[in-house]
Amino acid sequence: MTASAAVAAAVPAGAGFRVGVSLSLAGLLVGSAWHLSGEAGGGRLALSLVFGALFGFVLQRSRFCFLCVWRDLLDRGDPRGVLGILAALALGMAGYAVVFGAWLPDPSGTRLPPGAHIGPVGPVLALAGLAFGAGMAVSGSCLSAHLYRLGEGSATAPFALLGSALGFVLGFLTWNPLYLAGIAEAPVTWLPRHLGYAGSLIAGLAVLGGAALWLLRRPLPAAPPPAVADPWRAVFVARWPTWLGGLAVGAIGTLSYLRLGPLGVTAEIGGRSRQGAAALGLLPERLEGLDAFRGCATALGDALLTPNGLFVGGLVVASFAAALAAGQFRPARPGRGHVLRGLLGGVLLGWGAMTGLGCSIGTLVSGIMAGALSGWVFGIAMLAGITGTLGLSRRLGWLA
Which CA distances in Å does 188 have to 163, 352, 377? Answer: 29, 18, 12
CB of 95 to other proteins, least distance (A): 14
∠ at Cα 332 (328, 335), nearest 5°? Answer: 150
Nearer to other proteins, 75 or 291 (CB): 291
Comparing CB distances to other proteins, the nearer of 15 and 290 is 290
Query: Nearest distance from residue 50's CB to other proteins, in Å?
Result: 16
Is there a contact between 355 and 174 (Cβ–Cβ < 8 Å)? yes
Comparing CB distances to other proteins, the nearer of 16 and 43 is: 43
Rank residues 16 and 42 by Cβ distance to other proteins and give the closer one.
42
Distance from C-alpha of 356 to C-alpha of 117, rounded to nearest angstrom: 11
Within 8 A by CB and 6+ apart from 152, the residues are 60, 319, 320, 323, 328, 329, 330
Question: Are residues 227 and 339 in contact, defined by beta-carbon separation less than 8 angstroms?
Answer: no
Choice between 40 and 400, CB closer to other proteins: 40
Contacting residues toward other proteins, per CB under 8 A: 39-40, 102-105, 110-111, 113-115, 258-259, 261, 301
How many angstroms separate the CA atoms of 387 and 381, rounded?
10
CB of 318 to other proteins, least distance (A): 24
In whole angstroms, what is the distance from residue 310 CA to residue 49 CA? 5
* Between 193 and 338, CB nearer to other proteins: 193
- Measured from the CB atom, is 223 or 285 closer to other proteins? 285
Minimum CB–partner distance for residue 257 and other proteins (Å): 10
Q: By C-beta, is 2 or 110 nearer to other proteins?
A: 110
Q: How far is the CB of 223 from other proteins (least distance, A)?
A: 44
In the complex, least distance from residue 294 CB atom to other proteins, rounded to whole angstroms:
10
Q: In the complex with other proteins, which residue's Cβ is closer, 105 or 226?
A: 105
